Amino acid sequence: MDPASLDDARREVRAILNSGIFAPTSRQALLLEYLFKKVVDGHAAELKEFTVALELFHKTAEFDSHTDATVRVEAHRLRKKIEKYYETVGRDSKLRVTLPLGQYILHFQPAPAAQPPVAMPPQPGATRHLRKLAFWASPVVVLLVLAGTQFARLPRPVISPPKHAQPGSPAEISAAPDPEPDAVRILVGHTGEPYVDNAGRQWQSDRFFHGGAVRKVSHEVFFRTSRPQLFRLVREGTFRYRIPLPPGEYEARLYFTDPDVPGVELGPERRFRIMTVWINGRMVSVFDLAAEIGCYADIRAFAHLRPNSDGILDILFQSARGPAAVSAIEILPMVNGEIRPVRIIAQRRPFLDNKSRLWFPDDYYSGGNYGDFPATIDGDVDPGVVSLDRSGDFEYFIPVPDAEYQINLYFGEAFHGPGHSGGGGVGSRVFDVLLNNEMVLRDFDILREAPPMRLVTRTFRHVRPDVRGKIHLTFSPKAHLASVRAIEILPEKSGSLAAAR
């Protein structure tokens, strides 16, 4: 690479590192810097998984890639974050950095030029071709009608989709009731009527606060959330919320993002955002909002909280170095002393199943896409729960209080298999699943476990969240796309009551 090209590449790598796509001290940032240094030093061709493991991640000479997926996982995450950078912050960059699948050598190439659509003049015989198309389209129409009939057999969501309103303006209230009417939800900076999110949950106006100031978030928050409207404003400084509650035990979910523009030099007073969170006089969390969260949406969850003798739950957000900030606060009563289950479906609307269990819309994900065509998957759960899937190369970061959990993952193959659109069979869809960075399903093949349209469930017991309070699931494809239809997180009876009090 010539010096001029190397300078361009260096500027592009620096722009990615400063974009806020990942925290500067994250493993992905360190990996990007390490791989680029190898390019600069002329040693990129020597890069192998074993080399990266020893030199960057300080593994020992006994490193075995079959049992330790650290390098592959971090390379996968870096690859997805670079792609996300060019889809969002870096969409106008003239240079593209890529990390090809299965490689550890960075590639640099000019951004593809936008091609305007070209109107084609009518061709001779076009009418004849259209008649042929209409003839062949007729069976397709019949198939689509049949597919619609099949979809009509699926149980329909009983909760109507809520109407959306922007925080800060009058909200339109959904006709459906709040699925968790006993919750207290505070949306920072919001005034007027409640704001209704994508699951029908009502967020009240900002109240019960003492100190701090409201400011607008300087960037759009769309990483790891389906509810970006909750992260448009923050209360900033050192401040507290004194929330009156009836006696009992509660869960709290605190919503965070760094309000500053990623990669912009902000001066010493905002370069760091080290903050602490105290609940009823006890410190429950300390973190650097800028370094650990950045432009992501982030939620920290706590359980077994009780109001003080005066009936107040006191939450203090304290600046340690740089201002503290929070976007929203959610308080939910615990049920019989138990942490509430988390049930997520790969759909845009909530769903009440035939056992009266509420499944919330897809959330906390990064990467992948919704499926477009519903399918009736037979098994021991309501078919409406597993009618669609998230597929691709994706992750989930699901916030939960510190406790032990049972994780249920629901799969079903509706694309591959004899007589199905994708054809093929066993081996057509193969992927790995990691749970908190540990391999739990290697070379998982849904069709090897069951025929098409049959439910496949995998359960993992006594799982604790990672150090940031997340159940972290990684779905990494090997053949075609990874896929999951629903995720269920249930507190273990033996572990949930042992959470920090």
pLDDT tens per residue across span 337-365:
999 999 999 999 999 999 999 999 999 99
pLDDT at 382: 96
Residue 263 has pLDDT above 90, yes or no: no
Residue 143 has pLDDT above 60, yes or no: no
**For 177-181, 258-262, 319-323, 478-482, which range has the lowest pLDDT when averaged over its residues?**
258-262
Tokens at residue 56, please? 């960057």
- Cα–Cα distance measured from residue 492 to residue 471, given in angstroms and rounded to the nearest whole number: 14
Q: Among residues of the chain, what percentage have pLDDT more than 70?
A: 81
Residue linked to tokens 């994508």:
198
pLDDT at 138: 44
pLDDT at 4: 62
CA distances from 454 to 43, 376, 388, 473, 489 (A): 49, 9, 13, 23, 21
Residue 278 has pLDDT above 60, yes or no: yes
| 208 in Cβ contact with 326 (< 8 Å) | no
| 201 in Cβ contact with 180 (< 8 Å) | yes
If pLDDT is split at 50, 70 and 90, which confidence band does 415 have? very high
221: Cα separation from own chain's centroid: 12
Q: What is the CATH T-level fold of the domain 342-496, as seen in this structure?
A: Jelly Rolls (2.60.120)
Residue-wise pLDDT for 194-209, tens only, equals: 999 999 999 999 999 9
If pLDDT is split at 50, 70 and 90, which confidence band does 378 have? very high
pLDDT at 194: 94
Residue 163 has pLDDT above 60, yes or no: no
Burial 280-294 (b: 16+ CB within 10 A, else e): eeeebbebbbbbbbb
pLDDT at 380: 94
User: What integer best gives the mean pLDDT of the chain?
Assistant: 83
CATH code that applies to domain 184-333: 2.60.120.430
Residue 501 has pLDDT above 90, yes or no: no
Q: Which among 116, 104, 109 has a CA at the least distance from the CA of 56? A: 104
